[in-house]
A and B are shown apart, each in its own frame.
Chain A
């Protein structure tokens, strides 16, 4: 499965079903993380159910220092 994540193409040998599984695969703690899938915000309560498809574009963001 091919996904575009934060501007980079990533290839996975197996299909990743949901946003929650993707975060687990990438070892990302969902606590202060937001996900945008194909331009739309995915809410935390939908992480387990939101399905991913080959070629999907994702932005995974979180908080950093700022003024």
Chain B
């Protein structure tokens, strides 16, 4: 890529998404801090979950999310199998009219790893029902291809378990997915630092999704800014045409004659 190129635009369901940083809305210390952090992050896409309404203490988070400003992406978190994911997706669409869904099927509460079989099953049905499906998966290149084949709008391979902040543990396989995917690749889960997010973009991921690393930081608003800068930096770097890795040294200054 030459230094004058812009990064290939990120398009999901025909919509151009400017920001390569998607942000989750869970775990923030307060709705106000969440709103400020989302603002600082520059995100276009934010995720939400679906839960039973509490009659005693209505959840204040919802009123702090500006549905006009952000593309709100409901997730099916809590689903342990395809049936539950379908149920949640349909309810989310009925609640909001939004037909985008982050498909998340996690039967194991300890590691919260996504079930590949149930995810593929649910994805196929949801695509047929007219949903724009963004599936959360392990960094399995074959699974990513299968999900692309059934019509998913993106694939979202994990870097590490949700909330673990371990970074790009699945780096080698994310690279393969990036190499082979014909849909946008969004690295989602396990990102802990802005450098992890930057690395994912530098590897060629189209976007990253970050929640815990921002929401649970001591200063979520500052951390949201840090992530925005990191992702923008990586995008700029790719557009600037980075040098390639070499085996041998390449001197920065010409080898001198006068010292001989």
Contacts and interface: CB of A to CB of B under 8 A. Distances in A.
Contact of B61 (A43, A44, A65): A65
B47 A67 contact: yes
Given A63-B50, A66-B47, A66-B48, A42 B25 contact: no
A63 B91 contact: no
Interface string B163-181: 1000000000000000000
Given A32-B62, A34-B50, A63 B55 contact: no
Interface string A15-57: 0000000000010100011111000011110000000000000
Contacts of A34: 50, 91-92, 94-95
Interface stretch (B5-13, B26-34, B228-236): B26-34
> How many B residues touch the partner, as a band?
35 or more
A64 B62 contact: yes
A21 to B, nearest CB: 16
B200 to A, nearest CB: 16
| 10 shortest interchain CB distances as A-B pairs | A66-B49, A67-B24, A67-B211, A34-B95, A65-B25, A65-B26, A34-B91, A34-B94, A63-B48, A6-B52
Interface of B: 24-28, 34, 47-53, 55, 59, 61-62, 65, 72, 74-75, 77, 87, 90-92, 94-96, 162-163, 189, 209, 211-212, 215
